[in-house]
Amino acid sequence: MTTATTTDGPANGPPLTYPPGLPDDVAPMGEKAAGTVRMLLVVLGVAGVVLIAGAVVAPRQFFHSYLFGYVLALDVTLGALFWVLIHHVADAGWSVGLRRVFENITRALPPLALLFFPVVIGIYSGNLHAWYEFIAQPEPPAGSHELHQWHVKHLYYAAPFFLLRIAIYFGVWIAYATAMRRWSARQDEVGGAGLTRTMQWWAPSGVLLLGLTATFFAFDLLMSLQYSWFSTIFGVYFWAGGIRGSLSMGVLLVLALRAGGYLRHTITMEHLHDAAKLMFGFTVFWAYIAFSQYFLIWYGNVPEETQFYLLRRNGAWYEASILLPVVNFAVPFFLLLPRANKRNPVTLAVAAGWILLTHAFDLYWQVLPVLHQDTVHVHWLDVAAPVFMLAVVVLSAVWGFRQVPLIPVRDARLNETIGYENETP
Amino acid sequence: MLHEKAHETHETAGANEPLHTRFADPLPRIPLVWGPATFATLDDQIAGVTERPQPGWWWPALLVTSAVLVGGVIAATYLISTGVGVWGSNNPVNWAFDITNFVFWIGIGHAGTLISAILFLFRQKWRTSINRFSEAMTIFAVICAGVYPGIHVGRFWYAWFMFPLPNANHIWPNFRSALLWDLFAVSTYFTISLIFWYVGLIPDLATLRDRAKSRARQRIFGFLALGWRGSTRHWRHYEVAYLMLAGLSTPLVLSVHSVVSFDFATSVIPGWHTTIFPPYFVAGAIFGGFAMVLQCMIPARAVYKLENLVTIKHIDVMCKFILATGTLVGYAYCMELFVAWYSGNPNEWQTFQDRAFGGDYTWAYWTMMTCNLFVPQVFWVRWCRQTPWFVLIVVTFVNVGMWYERFVIIVQSLHHDFLPGSWGRFYPTWVDWLQMVGDFGLFFTLTLVFLRYLPMIAIAEVKGVLGMANPYHTPVPDAEYLKANGRYPTQDHERAAAFGPPSNAPRAVPASPEPVPAFIASPGGTGKPWGVVAEFANPHDLLVAVRRARDAGYQQIDAWTPYPVHGMITAIGRYRSRLPLFTLAGGLTGLAAAATMQFYLSAYYYPIIVGGKEYRSWEAFVPIFFEMTVLFAGFFTLFSLIGLCGLPKLFHPVDNHPTFKRSSLGGFLLTVEATDPKFDPDGTRAFLEELGGKHVAVVEG
């Protein structure tokens, strides 16, 4: 056990007082992370150049791949915001250390807000969503099949309303993420229960607003790829994926930190065992939601609804559709079922990495069939875009670890997270 | 020494160490039991309710509820003797009060499973004060719901048509029908809930047995408790079995109301066919169930003076659950309404326009919206959550609202279907009303009987959450209790502190009612010793003694405690139970059985086309796959628990020890068996006395 230095401040803030008795050095990483940052910047640069090249040579492919990668990064980040908020809602104690990881992931929200502009360009250049052209046409004649559709969609997708909505979503997310992160960092300096109570007071409204905004984001960007398709559960499907994806991302970051010698005695396998149980739980939850959606549409067999799955039966998309529940549910289910696998860093890392990968596959399966309706065409942009976007997320998180202590050092519930013991029989 | 030992058995630093606060604690956790309480006072307070004469209001209350129940019986008898025409159901509203009540009651049950299983998995220990009551409520609510499938066919002697049995011409039930899934889901739910409830009750039944004054009570509870004595070797299987049952019940509770929602959502009727139905129904069920728990619990806690156990904080948290689930249900209402518009589907939008704006049932829709979405929003305010009479009013709204929700979904959607020519309204008859009210009579009659005869709070579990239950508990001085920097951080802390500081663990073993001889003969014994029994004052002393005995080379040690003491399993030299393998085996057996049954019967033995799907299409078999997996896994868990513990064991040599029955009350006992190679009647007895054991005696085998 090493005792943390007692006065070692964040990179460029006032000196912090670390409570004596912390089992690890949790000072901000500062220059120690410079190598990681450089590496991530290289990845970001290379992927960015590839993306720009792709935008020039294959614009339609570029916009679809970009949307796929973008949504992956965004839902992981929103999931992280969910975990931060739910920690406060539940007045949790065990997850204090993990919360800092999620707080740092939410630092990706402002850059992601900027990175949304290419999506806007994609839509309004007619390269992404078909509704753009549908609502641009004049009102269909009375009695035509598309009349009702047109009436509704030209209101809902009217450009000012659409853009205003997007702005509101990002406003809500950035506001809550920033506030939670700042209060948490401020508590590192002053300690006490006051800021804990402030965060607990604001968190429930955050969960409510996050739930609503994430739902409508999913409707606006994903469900609307086939604008005449609709599914009331789609928002929940989006939550389920993002919450699970972000948990995997958080676990991978913790395991990476531990592999680098950090937090070894602070975020232990006891904490990660619980995180793994949540990953398992949300794996089942995803399957439940995915099955509910598929099953009711399959059983009802109404053409407006089945179009979603019919599109994903063409060519190799059929095999991809069968593969999805296998790789995204069955494999992680059995991987995470034994207790030993949840308590082993290697199997846990494999499971978390696997889930992140298959979650990306889930989003790929949602976005790309709209572009390649005949069969699967894997394009190099389909790799570059998610790599670029995830690099943004990881870089934002690492940037956070450079700035603030690796755990909330003066949290009111610190006693419950340090030396936490998993009580499951 | 204790600490070194702890480090050897746990991989993480700090595990098992005393729970001292190492860092500043500006927001102390409020304990779950308020005021002074010991293991003995808990027994008196909770088990005492079932032992003392019933309070004066109990008989009149039972009279009223059973009179109402008789009304329901009359309605059902009239229905069966005459035919379903006595109900107001008509064409197009062919389903009305029957299925509304069915869904309402099934939903009520869900809170019980949420509290007992899901909160258990999330280690929300406040659940221990309310889980028994909620589980009982689950069972009664499912019974109330089960009335309807039985009687709604009118000719209830054909009720066996619902079961997977061939009726005429080798025709089997349609395994692709949502109504058959309902049968599997509801019966699995009832069975698993009953198992879960019973497993939870076993330690408390032992407590009742050991407190019993009359021979009859001793025998009844002795039989029901299967001979449970709180052995740590049993607790080790018990805790894992409980975890397995919680793990099974969690997806089960989601599946049950999802399957109920499939009754509607698999159709193509606007207002019924929508993908959010499964999670929406589950959220609504938990919402309504929590309301019913509070509806019953608030009066019960007042009349039985349980405010220190079911504290105002419990009510507060349950109100937050009502707020959260009510808002989720509101989210689903809004999604339905939004997507009905967004879809651009004229039929869908017609239904929702009629529902929400200016149709025959708009009043019911807004009643539902008001009761379920708007009214619970008052729970954002702390005063509203912490004022019992006010909470009681709000939860009444919720119960009414949840009934109306089902009424709106069912009746409103049916009364305006695709053919405007057949549109019509529904008018309930007196039989409908009497049947509905009679169900409440059934529910409250069962509840009253339960309160009277079984402990309404899980005694063993509450014992386990007392501060003194932790062997490493170090109490704070009374003056600093719940304070940080000399003052109470919140009003909640102040309210809890007003009940007084918690009791400290007893330091001495209470005297035995009769002298304990050094050798206790068993009637009809073998003449050889079974082992040595020693009693300790508290969990800490027992744990220390067990570890010293292990260090001294004893192997056949057992610790007998009223609740599972943390760290005791490894201390007696045992490891985690392998019971989960049985659960897994059960699950796979159930899955294989369900797959064989459905594919064989539906695709091969008597192939039936349903809904234009292929014979071998698997999708519609999934609900029964799942239900049978859980059903078998639950049975395997129960039987492997009983088998691994060697129960029932109604007689045991230690029963002759005069203070041994304290192991289910507030005593902590250690035994060393004669099979131990190091065992020596006199030497071992002396050793245990040296460790500080009291009432040490050799018992005859």
ipTM for this prediction: 0.93
Cα angle: B602, vertex B604, B606; to 5 degrees: 60
CATH of domain B66-166+182-442: 1.20.1630.10
CA–centroid distance for A214 within its chain: 11
Predicted pLDDT of residue B21:
60
Which residue is associated with the tokens 């409707």? Answer: A219
User: pLDDT digit string (tens) for B26-69?
Assistant: 999 999 999 999 999 999 999 999 999 888 899 999 999 999 99
Query: Could you read off the pLDDT of A138-173 as tens digits, one per residue?
Result: 999 888 878 889 999 999 999 999 999 999 999 999
Q: Name the closest residue on chain A to residue B323, using Cα atoms.
A: A204
How many C-beta atoms surround the C-beta of residue A319 within 10 A?
Answer: 12
> Percentage of residues in chain B with pLDDT exceeding 70?
97
Cα distances (Å, whole numbers) of residue B90 to A23, B305, B427: 71, 49, 9
Residue A2 has pLDDT above 70, yes or no: no
Judge whether A228 is closer than 8 Å to chain B, CB to CB: yes
Q: Where are the domains of chain A?
A: 30-137+166-417
- How near does any CA of chain B get to the CA of A51, in Å? 34
Instruction: Give mean pLDDT, residues B337-344.
Output: 94
- Nearest residue to B456 (alpha-carbon basis) of B124, B144, B112, B219: B112
Phi, psi of A155 (to 5 degrees): -80, -50
Angle at A309 between CA A303 and CA A310, to 5 degrees: 65
Interface of B with A in 337-366 (CB under 8 A): 339, 341-346, 349
pLDDT digits (tens, 9 = 90+) for B515-537: 999 999 888 888 899 999 999 99
**B14 to A419: CB separation less than 8 angstroms, yes or no:** yes
Q: What is the pLDDT of residue B442?
A: 97
DSSP 8-class letter at B231: B
Beta bridge partners of B531: B673, B699
Q: B566: nearest CA in chain A?
A: A423
Q: How close is the nearest chain A Cα to the Cα of B379, in Å?
A: 12
Which residues 233-252 of A have a C-beta within 8 angstroms of B? 233-236
Q: Which of B342, B575, B576 is most worth mutating to test chain A (most A CB atoms within 10 A of its CB)?
A: B342
Nearest to B310 by CA among B45, B490, B488: B45
Helix axes A59-89, A117-124, angle to 10 degrees: 130
A279, A331 Cβ separation under 8 angstroms:
no
Higher-confidence position of A16 and B637: B637
Q: Classify burial at A12, counting beta carbons within 10 Å of its beta carbon; exposed 0-12, middle 13-18, buried 19 or more.
A: exposed
Name residue A237's amino acid: Y
B11-20, B88-97, B424-433, B449-458: range with lowest mean pLDDT: B11-20
- Among B276, B341, B490, select the one facing A152 at the smallest CB separation: B341
pLDDT of residue A1: 36
Write out chain A residues lying below 8 Å of B335, CB-based: 215, 232, 235
DSSP assignment letter at B53: P
DSSP 8-state secondary structure symbol assigned to residue B485: T
β-strand partners of B672: B532, B557
Q: What is the DSSP string of B488-550?
A: -SSHHHHHHHTT-PPPPPPSSPPPPSS---SEEPPTT--SSEEEEEEEESSHHHHHHHHHHHH
Does the pLDDT at position B140 exceed 70? yes
Please state, in angstroms and rounded to a whole number, the distance separating the CA atoms of residues A212 and B427.
38
Q: Does A371 touch chain B (CB under 8 A)?
A: no
Amino acid at B232: T
Residue B611 has its nearest CB partner, among A269, A301, A423, at: A301
Model confidence at B649: pLDDT above 50: yes
Chain Cα centroid distance, residue B235: 19
Distance from CA of A299 to the nearest CA of B (A): 6
Nearest CA in chain A to B335: A232
The DSSP symbol for B668 reads E
Angle in degrees, 0-180, between the axes of helices A303-311 and A269-300, rounded to the nearest 10: 130
Rounded Cα distance between B602 and B596, Å, is 10
In SS3 terms, B408-431 reads as HHHHHHHHCCCCHHHCCCCCCCHH
A232 and chain B in contact, CB less than 8 A:
yes
Asked whether the beta carbons of residue A152 and residue B344 sit closer than 8 angstroms, the reply is yes
- Identify whether the C-beta of residue A299 lies closer than 8 Å to the C-beta of residue B611: yes
CATH of segment(s) B519-576+648-700: 3.30.70
Q: What angle do CA A163, A167, A169 make, to 5 degrees?
A: 115
Q: What is the rounded average pLDDT of the residues B540-559?
A: 95
Write the residue in A208, A215, A295 that is nearest to B327 by C-beta: A208
Is B2:B285 a contact under the CB 8 Å cutoff?
no
Residues 108-137 on A with a CB inside 8 Å of B are none
Say what the pLDDT of residue B158 is: 84
Q: How confident is the model at residue B4 (pLDDT cuts 50, 70, 90)?
A: very low
How confident is the model over B689-698, as a mean pLDDT? Answer: 93
Distance (Å, whole) CA A215 – CA A220: 9
The model's pTM is 0.94
CA distances from A274 to A262, A281, A348, B122, B244 (A): 19, 10, 11, 9, 16
Return d(Cα B83, Cα B156) in angstroms, integer: 10
Does B163 have pLDDT greater than 90?
no
Q: How many other β-carbons are positioned within 10 Å of the β-carbon of residue B567?
A: 22
Q: Where are the beta strands (DSSP E) in B212-275?
A: none
Q: What is the pLDDT of residues A73-85, one digit of tens each?
A: 999 999 999 999 9
Instruction: Tell me which range, A324-328, B128-132, B357-361, is most confidently predicted by mean pLDDT.
Output: A324-328
Which residue did the predictor score with more confidence, B91 or A112? A112
What is the pLDDT confidence band of residue A14, given thresholds at 50, 70 and 90? low
Answer whether B295's CB lies under 8 Å from B399's CB.
yes
Q: Does A35 touch chain B (CB under 8 A)?
A: no
* A377, pLDDT greater than 60: yes
CB B109 within 8 A of CB B446: no
Higher pLDDT pick, A421 / A377? A377
Cα dist from A280 to A81, A287, A341, B446, whole Å: 20, 11, 11, 38
Q: Where are the alpha helices (DSSP H) in A90-193?
A: 96-105, 109-114, 117-124, 131-136, 147-156, 159-190
Q: Is the pLDDT of residue A239 over 80?
A: yes
Q: In what order do the strands lie in the sheet with B529-536?
A: B519-520, B694-700, B529-536, B668-673, B557-560
CB B188 within 8 A of CB B142: no
Task: Report pLDDT for B106.
Answer: 93
Distance from CA of A42 to the nearest CA of B (A): 37
pLDDT number for residue A12: 55
Work out the mean pLDDT of chain B and round it to a whole number.
91
* Residues of chain B contacting A151 with CB distance shorter than 8 Å: 344
Task: Give mean pLDDT, residues A100-121.
Answer: 97
Q: How far apart are CA B7 and CA B341, in angstroms?
A: 62
In this structure, what token pair is assigned to residue A251?
A: 């676990």
Percentage of the residues of chain B whose pLDDT score is greater than 90: 79
Chain B residues touching A321 at Cβ < 8 A: none
Helix (H, G, I), strand (E, B) or coil at B392: helix
Q: What is the DSSP string of A183-236?
A: HHHHHHHH-SSHHHHHHHHHHHHHHHHHHHHHHHHHHHHTGGGGTT---TTHHH
How would you label A47-57 residue by residue, b for 16+ Cβ within 10 Å and e otherwise? bbebbeebbee
- Cβ-based burial of B4 (10 A; exposed 0-12, middle 13-18, buried ≥19): exposed
Summarize the confidence of residues B608-636 as an average pLDDT.
Answer: 93
Searching chain A, which residue's CA lies closest to the CA of residue B258?
A292
- Count of A–B CB contacts within 8 Å? 157
- Asked whether the predicted pLDDT for residue A6 surpasses 60, the reply is no
What is the rounded average pLDDT of the residues B78-103? Answer: 92
What residue ranges do the domains of chain B occupy? Answer: 66-166+182-442, 519-576+648-700, 579-644
What CA–CA distance (Å, rounded) separates A258 from A252?
10
